[in-house]
Structures are given as structure tokens and as C-alpha cells.
Structure 1
Amino acid sequence: MDSVHDIGGTDNVGSIDTSPENSKSFDLDTKWEELVFPLLPALYGQKVFNFNTNRYTIEDAMDPVYYLEAPYYEHWLAGIEAMLTEQGIITKEEYQDRIDKVKQTEDPDDLMTEYNNEEITEAAIDVIENGTSERWRQETDPDDTAFEIGDEVRVKNIHPTGHTRCPEYIRNVEGVIDEIMGTQTLPDKRAHVDGFGEYTTPEPVYHVKFNNEDIWGEDYEHFEGNETTYISLYESYLESV
């Protein structure tokens, strides 16, 4: 699904703000952000849902304008809320009832219940320290891949109705296989598996080298030493030239 999270190369969006000030948007500056942050790794650690399912839920749950204006961790919260209600873990009525109680309480901290579970805590810490995707990666036998290093490929011009990690701006652009990175479960399928469910079949992932002018066109502003872009792409996103 082509959604607001994939705006690379989109006209009139502007450049990426790489300033130190902008990076502070990921800091936990407020109490609610401190509370939201551990929820996601805790839910991953308990295999309530997987990373790609959460990404897709955020894309589907948030209005594009809301997505662009909301703080970073509000994206997390919107995805968590949607997933928990979709899976029936909480109902929308229970969620709204809790909101109403918070609004009516002078000190919302009074509603907090202390809950300690070592298993959940350890699983959450494991996700924070080790991530969720590398553990799925496997070495790939070159004989089992459709492409070899040096092969010329084209990114398929796909427009899936579900989740995808194939950037829209790179579709229909030709490049060269630079590295075979291993295998990993295809996010496009993984996002639509309930919880952790059965792992879908892993497929090869390639590091593909692109000429920037091929991506951005003749008006591309050239910078010395910055003439190429490397993108990691799944095998099913590619076709031979």
C-alpha cells in the first residue's frame, strides 16, 4: 500500500531535516512518551503482534495529515491502540472508558497500577537490545538466488494494496546487484500474519546500487562523491533487465 509513510522523492515535501534539533523528536521528553516507549517492545516480546504488522496498522489507522503532524511516539501509540482493539485484547468501549476516567481524575497517576512481571520485562529488554529483524536473517546459498552480484535488475513497478517495503521512488528504476545480504521474511506477507503466527517463507535480500540520475532524472543536483544510492530490496521486488 502506497501511504504517507513513504514520501521519499515526493514533490513539494522538502528536504530531510538532519539537524541535531530535529533528532530530539525521538527523545522521551514527556511522561506519556516514557509510558508508550516500553509498550511496543513488551508486546513484541510477548509475540502479541510483529513489527511489520504494527507498521501496516499505523499506515492504515492514521489519517495522512494526522500522521505528518503527530509526534513520533504518537505513531507508536496509534498502532498499539489499533492492534489491541483489532485483536480483541481491549475493546473500543474499554479504551474510551479509560480515557474518560483519566479526564475526570485530578492526578492520572492515581489510576496507575503497579505491575511487575519478570518474563515480560526480560522479553522487552531483549527486543530493545537485540531488535526484532536480525534474528530472522539467514545465510543464503548463491545457488538458491535468482540474481548474482553484478546482475542488472529493474525494480518492479508495483502498487500493492497491502503493506510493502518497496519505496515508491525507486520503482521502475534499473540498478546493479552489489551484494547478496542473506534471507529474511518478506514484510509484505509478514504484516498480514496474526501475532507472530507461522513464519512466511524467507526470500533473498539484495543490496542494489543505483545511479542517482536514474532515480531523480536529469535535473538531479550532483554532489561530488554522492552519485549513487544503495537500497536493500527483496527478491520479489526485482526483475531482470
Structure 2
Amino acid sequence: HYELPNIAERAIKNINTKPKYISADTIYLNQISLSYLADKKIDGLIPNRKQSKEKIGKLSPNPYHKDHFEYDYELDAFKCPKNQYMYFFAKYYEPHKDPEKPDKIKRLYNNYEACKNCKARNKCCSSSQTHKTITEYGSEMQKAMNHKMEKQEYKDEYAKRSSVEGPFGIFKEQFQIEKEVVTGMIKTEERINLDALAYNLIRLHNIKQEIENKTEDLEDFCESTSIKNQLKLDVTIF
């Protein structure tokens, strides 16, 4: 999560040139990465989770999922699928588990009156909720990055990275291509297994500490794993 500065410094040393752009996956979108890019005056290209999901066509099919709440950067508000605005009302700082890492910033948005009178409330909210609350993480630097990555010129620039990182060239023999596809699938499966192992270790620790695990935690893990490996995961949670 926090290795972008180290990776970038090694790359710059190798090529003896400071690049105009540095592109990175969503997992590197954090204060340490953004501060490094700002200090070095390098134009970063890091999409947020929704932007990554949109790029690979994996937005949630649920029309009332957060994926379909449009953020208005001028109003600092989210527009829901029923065209009602949910406004910023609170900001919290969550201490990072690692004291050397910056605190996490959590911003909350809602509109109690709009939800109260909404005919779609039962579809949008759970039975225990009186209204919808959108939770957004990140600093002003992250908001600026999100805004930048909505612009087509930066989407196009980021897309170049995907073409450069393609798994194989168009002139390779078919058997070579098939071999690389299989190898890529195996490596992806290994990464998912490691992710699942890490999640289970955290869960076991939480159980030992009598910390309740929420369904949302597992949903978040599955979603982030899907984005990181750019594949669709069909998961049943019970």
C-alpha cells in the first residue's frame, strides 16, 4: 500500500530521469503516495476504487449501491439515484494501526429529510436504517486526485499504462500465448489465496480480541480483491 515512493525512487535512479507521470493502481491511493508525488512535482495518475471498477465494467448491479451515487466536487455532496443531494456533515480521524502511518480521514454525507420522504428508501436502506449515509475516505489531496482522474485527458494517459503492461505481444505464437495466460491465471489464484489467508488471520485475531466482524468487512475485502486482480468474484456471504 505504501511502497510507491520507494518503487518510484528506484525507477528514477535506474533511468536517471524524473518522469512527467507516475501511474499506479488504486491500492496506492493514500496520503503517503500523494505527498510524495506533490513533493517531487510529479503528475500522479491513481484512480479511486469506483473509477477502477468503472474502467473494467464492474460497477455494482445494485442501482442504489454507492457506485451509483455521483459526487459533485463543487458542492462537496453526493447525488443519489433519485437526484437528491447528500451533504457533508462530519469528518473523523482514525488513528492508523501503524503509528508511523498518517491517520485515516473519514468524511460522512447524508440527507435525513430526503431519505425520510423517498419512495425508494426500502430499496436503498436496510431495515435498520432510517437514512442513507455515504462514507468517503481521504484528504483534500485525494479528492483532487479523484477529480483529476474524472477528466478524459488523464483517463487516456492512464489507459496507456494498461496497454504497456499487456501480458503479451501480438506476434507471439499461439502456444506461447496460451502458456502465458495459464501462468497469469495461476499467479492470480496464488495472490487471491494469499489475500484470503491474510484476511483470515486478521479475522482470527479479531475473534481472539472479541472484536465483532461485520459483513461489510468481508464485502469490502471481496470488492478490493476483485479490483486489484481485475476480475469478477461471485461470492455468497452467509
- TM bin, normalised by shorter chain, reads under 0.3
Using structure 2 for the length normalisation, give the TM-score: 0.21
Q: Give the structure, 1 or 2, with the largest relative contact order (CA under 8 Å, sep 6 or more).
A: 1
Say which structure is richer in helix: 2
